[in-house]
Amino acid sequence: MAEDFPLIVSKAVAESNKRFRDENSALQEENRLIRIEAAKLSCNLMVAEIDHSRLEDAMSAELRGARKEASDLPQKLHLLAQEKIELESKLVSYRLKVANLEASMKADAAKVENLEKRSADREVLLGKVEKERDDTKAELDRAQEENMRIAAELAQAREETRKLLKSLLGLAKKLKG
């Protein structure tokens, strides 16, 4: 019976070691999946930031063009008024041309209004993209905290296993001696 004890202890140590390796393997796989998910979230965040930057640049360029167009409108209006006076003094038939130019001005104003509306819509979209970016970053932070917690648990499990093996080896030495 006493001869079987070292065999029983070694089997118990082997089983415990196997369970530890299995748990360690599972934790490593879970850790690897968490890292992959974190990398994916980081990539998605980078893509969202690039899209946001591109969208912001396009909106800025479009807004600059609209503002320039809007600032040129008063000068165009003044020139058209002078031309109208000259044309009315020369020929009545040119009044039709002046009316067409005024209609063009109204169309330009409608374009400016439409651009301002689109700019407001894009600002709303930008807010949504920023919120998604912030949500993704928060999710990434939570995943990193979870990863750190799992790593701490794994280190603790390793330490406990090491202590258990040490005490089992000490016990086995005592039993042999």
Residues 27-60 have pLDDT tens digits of 999 999 999 999 999 999 999 999 999 999 899 9
pTM: 0.32
d(CA 111, CA 104): 10
Query: What burial class does residue 106 get, using C-beta atoms within 10 Å of its C-beta: 0-12 exposed, 13-18 middle, 19+ buried?
Result: exposed
At position 46, the amino acid (one-letter code) is M
| Predicted confidence (pLDDT) per residue in 127-161, tens digit | 998 999 899 999 989 989 999 999 899 899 999 99
- Give the pLDDT mean for 17-31: 92
Q: Please write the tens of the pLDDT for every residue from 108-126.
A: 888 889 988 988 898 898 8
Question: What CATH number is attached to the domain comprising 49?
Answer: 1.10.287
Q: What percentage of residues in the chain have a pLDDT greater than 90?
A: 38
- Give the DSSP letter of residue 177: -
Q: Please tell me the total count of domains within the chain.
A: 1
- Rounded to the nearest integer, the mean pLDDT of the chain is 86
- 66 touches 115 (CB < 8 A): yes
Domain limits at 103? 4-176
Is the predicted pLDDT of residue 88 greater than 80, yes or no? no
Q: What is the mean pLDDT of residues 98-102?
A: 80
Question: What is the residue type of 6?
Answer: P
* pLDDT-derived band at 94, boundaries 50, 70, 90: low
Distance (Å, whole) CA 157 – CA 83? 89
Buried b (16+ CB within 10 A) or exposed e, 111-140: eeeebeeeeeebeeeeeebeeebeebeeeb
| Confidence class for position 9, pLDDT limits 50, 70, 90 | confident
